[in-house]
Amino acid sequence: MTAMLRMRISSAFFNGTHLRLLTCLSLAVVLLPPYLLFGGNSARTRSTERERGHRMTERTSILTERIQSIQVCTGTGKGVSCEKESVSGSVSQRACVYCGARVVLNPITDAYHIVHGPIGCASYTWDIRGSLSSGSELYRNSFSTDLREKDIIFGGEKKLWAAIQELMVKETPTPKLIFVYATCIVGVIGDDVTAVCKKAEDTYEIRVIPVFSPGFSGTKSTGYKIACDALTRLMLPYREQPKQFGVNILGDYNLAGEMWIIRNYLRRIGVPVIATITGDARFETLIQAPSATLNIVQCAGSSTYLANRMEAEFGVPYIKVSFFGVEDTTASICRIADALGISAIRTKAEEFVREETERVIPILRKYRPRLEGKRAAIFVGGGFKAISLMRQFRELGIQTVVVGTQTGKKDEYEILAQLADPETVILDDANPAELEQFMIEKKADILVGGVKERPLAYKLGIAFCDHNHERKHALGGFDGIENFVKEINLSINNPVWRYLDKE
């Protein structure tokens, strides 16, 4: 029986072309929900092999090259194929290297961000993120060298140099920090951006940091790394400074003031914050970062590399933390206290998290009955965020039925598989067609995702949670927990859904 069923599955699901998966599936047979394999119909359907195969082809929205990146969670088997390049033409939701670098560096408030290249890269990225500043608003601008055809042929170095010169002459206050992003074209035409930056540094005695971020040179994660290198380069000349007691916050971009919230928590337990990287960062505080006693890394995906470099270069040790959800926030605050090794801080930390937990638990309790039993789909950038969201949903009684990431790692998928129910679909680098198919099939009530995914969810009549860089309310820390459940509730229980004819 099992053997027969297995045969059917292989031919029905994969049109017989993907025998490689046969072994992987053998363990899964019993656990796989038949309706997924048989095109949304129940296993009771007694149709011929041919009919089934035909229906699958007709219905399926999955490219054969993508099959291995999709898994129906079984808790066993080989897991999702991930950490690969996107399949051409599959309409990936991923972004580019420049995007990754820009995301990390953009929140530095008093820096000039010069995008060296044709206009597109700058025009897509000015003032689109919710990073907040307590001072300069400079970072909300994009400065572009706006390369034209002639520049592509003869090179854009002169234009870049002229741009920097002009800033130095005309801008007040005079720039003290400039980032120059080298985009795709600059990477191809071979402008010596380093030389121009060096010349500018020497001429004006300011910091001009090149950021080598041509889109083709990797993924968004590559961009994070490049940004981290740029930051290290920025800090290196200030390595010789006396140590002071205090931490740097890495990987929080102060979206909707989240960094401020975390910094307040730390101050409340007696931990001074030296530099914030890069949420609400400014040149003067950034260069003090090497003097800190400890780095705490919030967005591990973008900033672990920087933390490692800072440990190697400046001897600042680091620990990773997360401030999404009660559990993570509590653990992180206590961990920071422990890492600092000061029992008075640990005592204060315990007191603080107890108070805050007592405050937010009733809020969660209030919302839970409205959310229990709902079905969520998650499609976010990194694996850790997906895991964190899945756990938060579980706390609320929400079942995650589809979960995917743009750039999740193998181990992260394994944990997702562990957290998931047997029917959950797990996807790596999913495209809209797959999201569409599985959200419908799994009857998702809400999607958590980025801005691009939002209209798709809406067209399918599915609620949406904006867990992305455009959010205008904090989702981190204890303060964010309330915002999170509020947002889920207001979308998932919105009356508009009752007017949609979904069946």
Q: Which of the residues 49 through 88 are near another protein (CB under 8 A)?
A: none
SS (H, E, C) 58-120: HHCCCCHHHHHHEEECCCCCCCCCCCCCCCCCCCCCCCCHHHHHHHHHCCECCCEEEEECCCH
Q: Is the peptide bond before 173 cis (omega within 30 degrees of 0)?
A: yes
Query: For the window 372-411, what string marks contact with another protein as x by the rule CB under 8 A?
Result: ------------x--xx--x-----------------x-x
Task: Kindly tell me which of 230 and 321 has the beta carbon lying closer to another protein.
Answer: 321
Task: Kindly tell me which of 6 and 409 has the beta carbon lying closer to another protein.
Answer: 409
Task: Kindly tell me which of 75 and 155 has the beta carbon lying closer to another protein.
Answer: 75
Q: Cα–Cα distances in Å, from 466 out to 448, 451, 483?
A: 6, 7, 11
- Least distance from C-beta 342 to another protein, angstroms? 5
Q: Does 272 bind another protein (CB under 8 A)?
A: yes
Task: Kindly tell me which of 167 and 439 has the beta carbon lying closer to another protein.
Answer: 439
- Least distance from C-beta 66 to another protein, angstroms? 25
- Least distance from C-beta 256 to another protein, angstroms? 6
Q: Cα–Cα distances in Å, from 302 out to 115, 143, 276, 278, 389?
A: 20, 24, 14, 11, 18
- Least distance from C-beta 150 to another protein, angstroms? 38
Helix 477-492 and helix 326-340, axial crossing angle in degrees, nearest 10: 170
Task: Kindly tell me which of 51 and 127 has the beta carbon lying closer to another protein.
Answer: 127
User: Segment near another protein (CB under 8 A), from 21-29, 109-117, 427-435, 470-478?
Assistant: 470-478
Task: Kindly tell me which of 169 and 499 has the beta carbon lying closer to another protein.
Answer: 499
Which residues make Cβ contacts (< 8 Å) with residue 269, sequence separation at least 6? 333, 336, 337, 345, 348, 349, 352
Token pair belonging to 407: 């750039």
- Least distance from C-beta 394 to another protein, angstroms? 12
Task: Kindly tell me which of 117 and 480 has the beta carbon lying closer to another protein.
Answer: 480
User: Per CB under 8 A, which of residues 238..267 are in contact with another protein?
Assistant: 242-243, 245, 256-257, 260-261, 263-264, 267
Q: How many residues touch another protein (CB under 8 A)?
A: 78
Query: Are the C-beta atoms of residues 99 and 450 closer than 8 Å to each other?
Result: no
Name which position in 82, 474, 475, 481 contacts another protein (CB under 8 A).
474
Task: Kindly tell me which of 49 and 311 has the beta carbon lying closer to another protein.
Answer: 311
Q: Does 493 bind another protein (CB under 8 A)?
A: yes
| CA atoms of 22 and 6, how far apart (whole Å) | 8
Closest CA to 412 of 420, 422, 401, 400: 420
- Least distance from C-beta 421 to another protein, angstroms? 14
Query: Are the C-beta atoms of residues 379 and 447 closer than 8 Å to each other?
Result: yes
DSSP-assigned beta bridge partners for residue 273: 247
Task: Kindly tell me which of 18 and 335 has the beta carbon lying closer to another protein.
Answer: 335
Closest CA to 256 of 489, 468, 486, 482: 468
Name which position in 18, 268, 368, 469 contacts another protein (CB under 8 A).
268
Name which position in 185, 419, 430, 456 contacts another protein (CB under 8 A).
419
Query: Are the C-beta atoms of residues 258 and 279 closer than 8 Å to each other?
Result: yes
Name which position in 50, 240, 362, 499 contacts another protein (CB under 8 A).
499
Query: Are the C-beta atoms of residues 282 and 207 closer than 8 Å to each other?
Result: no
Name which position in 158, 366, 452, 502 contacts another protein (CB under 8 A).
366
- Least distance from C-beta 56 to another protein, angstroms? 30
Query: Are the C-beta atoms of residues 428 and 80 closer than 8 Å to each other?
Result: yes
Name which position in 379, 464, 478, 484 contacts another protein (CB under 8 A).
464
Query: Are the C-beta atoms of residues 376 and 405 closer than 8 Å to each other?
Result: no
Q: Cα–Cα distances in Å, from 134 out to 65, 114, 186, 277, 473?
A: 48, 22, 33, 14, 16
User: Per CB under 8 A, which of residues 302..341 are in contact with another protein?
Assistant: 311, 315, 317-322, 327-328, 330-332, 334-335, 338-341
Name which position in 415, 433, 440, 483 contacts another protein (CB under 8 A).
415
**Taken in order 293, 298, 300, 305, is the CA torsion positive or negative?**
negative
- Least distance from C-beta 221 to another protein, angstroms? 14
**Taken in order 106, 427, 423, 442, is the CA torsion positive or negative?**
positive
User: Per CB under 8 A, which of residues 202..241 are in contact with another protein?
Assistant: none
Name which position in 48, 153, 495, 503 contacts another protein (CB under 8 A).
495
Query: Are the C-beta atoms of residues 74 and 417 closer than 8 Å to each other?
Result: yes
- Least distance from C-beta 329 to another protein, angstroms? 10
| CA atoms of 81 and 227, how far apart (whole Å) | 27
Name which position in 91, 128, 162, 500 contacts another protein (CB under 8 A).
500
User: Per CB under 8 A, which of residues 124..153 are in contact with another protein?
Assistant: 130, 132-134
- Least distance from C-beta 484 to another protein, angstroms? 13
Q: Is the peptide bond before 278 cis (omega within 30 degrees of 0)?
A: yes
Phi and psi dihedrals of 241, rounded to 5? -145, 150
Helix 97-105 and helix 220-235, axial crossing angle in degrees, nearest 10: 40
- Least distance from C-beta 254 to another protein, angstroms? 9
